[in-house]
Every structure is written in structure tokens, then in C-alpha cells.
Structure 1
Amino acid sequence: MNILRVATFLIGTALMGASLFAAAHTEEYFDSVESPHGGQMRMSGPYHLELVAKDKEIVLYVMDHANSKLSAEGGSGKATIQTGKGKARTSVKLEQAGDNILKGTGEFSIKPETVVTVFVELPGQEAYSASFTPLKPKAKLAMKTKAAKPQADSGDPHHHTHH
């Protein structure tokens, strides 16, 4: 009976932790904080993906939930760039170009309405995808303050260091 009670407690705690975790990583949260490389960040499965897009070039940084680099070795991906509804899409193959970087080039330009959808597949992992609007304006300061408050001293799982 004790083992069952402990197991139930652990599962409950894990689920609670997972929901806190998911809430912290909304698009609004990512859009209100500084990203490591100045791009736009999104959560996709076990990854934080940061997209740095400019005309003719897509650079995707692959990180874990603590924004630590994850090796992209042997990984690949695809970016689909679409500007405006009903416009032609451009697909770009993403290949490893550094520790945790997947990169691709093609004939496209990035405008405020451009949406970039990326698919990432790392060895031994499922494929994950995320959608970005690279030139979306940064969230306003008021949003930043609001997003930062719940993080303070809440025992947030990503603010501790792993030993």
C-alpha cells in the first residue's frame, strides 16, 4: 500500500511539474524574454528551438528546456517559408552547421508577415516541428514585467543548476 501511495504522489508531482513547465514556455513568454542569439524561440517537444532568419538564410539553434546546447550531430531538418496567405512556399533543407546549429539557404526573403515552419529530426528522436514569425515585433515592456513576476522565487524548474 505504501508503494502505491508513493507512486501516486510521484506521478501527481510529475504531472504538476509538467504543467508548470508548459505554462512557462508559451509564445508570449518567449517573445517577452531575450533569446540567446537574438532570434525567435519556440518550444517543440523536448527542445527549445531558436530561429534566426534573414533573406536567403535560416539558422536554427537546438537547445534543451534550460537553453543548454543540444548536439545536432547527425540531425537534419526542413524549413518551409511562406509570406502571406496563398503565396508560394519555399522549402529549405537544414543541415548541421555547428554544435547545436542546423542551417539552410535558399531563394526567399523575410518580411513581417513571413511564417517559417521548421521540422527537426535528431538521431534516435522523433521529428518535431515549430512555427515562427521571425519579424514579429518584440513584446512590450509591460508584458515583460508581467511575465517575469511569476518566475521570481517560484521554485521554477529551469532556474536551478544541474550538478
Structure 2
Amino acid sequence: MSLRQYVNKSVAGIFLALLGMSLSLSMSKGNAFAHDDKYFDSIKSPNGGQTRMAGVYHFELVLVQDSKTAKENSVTVFVTDHAGKALSTKGASASLTLVQGANKLTVNLQAEGENRLVGKASYASTANLKAALTVTMAGKPAEQARFTPFAIAKKSSAKAASSAKPEPEHQHEH
């Protein structure tokens, strides 16, 4: 091996080692481009629900908005990737645990259509409703997300009423 080949190989090796260290360091600190709950609560979700990120997925929980008392209502979760592209829910399993005051119930959701998980649960559309979603996509590990769908909706409505300034647009790439 000539000196030139040795130097080129060494430089390439050092570059790859630094790149690997940089990637593992950024992953250990979390994804710098990840969206947090505050970000999702500042934008309108495509289907009028509340969106959360879990792993490589975005889950949008859509509940009935006008149920003043607890009764059987629909539950829909839309599954997309970070760019908003619909992901197939075929073969997925999911459950949603709803906690409202002292009441707690878990409902199993079924895959439906292109990227939906659906079910029915007894709940009222009140600010104290909390939800925990567990989704296992076909062949993938389980992911979990937590929601407070009506608490956020009420805050957003109050914020919009008190401020005429529009929200900034979503301008970064995924």
C-alpha cells in the first residue's frame, strides 16, 4: 500500500468515526427535530383532533367535541409519519385508556380504512378527560402517546379569542 493510499484510508476512517460519534451523540440526546406537545398544541391537526408524536409516528386522536354527558361516542386515531403521510394500520393493534375524574376505561381500537384506528367509548367532552394510547403497528414495537384533547381545545379557543395575531407557519423539514 502506498503512502497516499494509507493516508486516504486513514482520513476516510477518521471521518466515518467522527460521523458515527456525532450521530450517536445526537440520538442519545433525543431528536433535535422532534416535535413536542407544545408544538402540536400550537397548530391545527388535519382532522380536528389532538396530535402527539411517538417514535416514528404521529397519532391524531379525534373525539366527539360536543358530548356534555358521558355516553358512548366514537374514537378515531389517524396514523401518519413525520411528514404527514398516511401510514397503513393494517395488522395494527391499539388500545386507548380514558380517565375522566374517578372513571377509567380501556377500549380496543380496530384498524379501518387507510390509516385509522377506530372504536367506541363512553366519555364526556370535558377538560378533565385524559387519554393514553398504545399502538403496535404490524411487526413493530409498541408506541405510546398521552392526550388531553379537551383541555387544549379550550385553551386554544381562549388564546384565539384574545389574540388576533396568526400563528407562525410550520416551516421546517422533516
TM-score range, shorter chain: 0.7 to 0.9
Shift of 1:53: 1.0
Matched residue, 1:6: 15
**1:26 pairs with 26, 30, 36, which one?**
36
Letter in 1 for 2:51: M
Deviations, residues 41-100 of structure 1 (Å, cap 9, x unaligned): 00011100000012522100011111110100011100011112xx12011110011111
**How many angstroms apart in 1 are the aligned matches of 2:54 and 2:139?**
16
Distance (whole Å) between structure 1 residues aligned to residue 91 and residue 128 of structure 2: 32
Aligned mates of 1:116, 1:30 — CA distance in 2: 16
Distance 2:53 2:25 in 1: 18
Q: 2:50 — aligned with what?
A: 40
* Cα distance in structure 2, aligned partners of 1:27 and 1:92: 23
2:173 alignment partner in structure 1: 157
Distance in 2, Cα, partners of 1:63 & 1:110: 25
Match of 2:93 in 1: 76
Which protein has the larger Cα radius of gyration, Structure 1 or Structure 2?
2
Look up the match of 1:53: 63
Aligned partner (choices 111, 118, 127) of residue 103 of structure 1: 118
- Normalised by the length of structure 2, the TM-score is 0.74
Question: Distance between the aligned counterparts of 1:26 and 1:42, measured in 2?
Answer: 8
- What amino acid is the match of 1:20? A
What is the TM-score normalised by the length of structure 1? 0.79
Q: Percent identity?
A: 32
CA distance 1:144–1:28, change in 2 (3 Å)? farther
2:156 paired residue number: 138
Aligned to 2:108: 93
Which SS does the other structure have where 1:59 is aligned? strand
**Which consecutive unaligned segments of at least 5 residues does structure 1 have?**
159-163
- Structure 2: runs of 5 or more not aligned: 1-9, 68-72
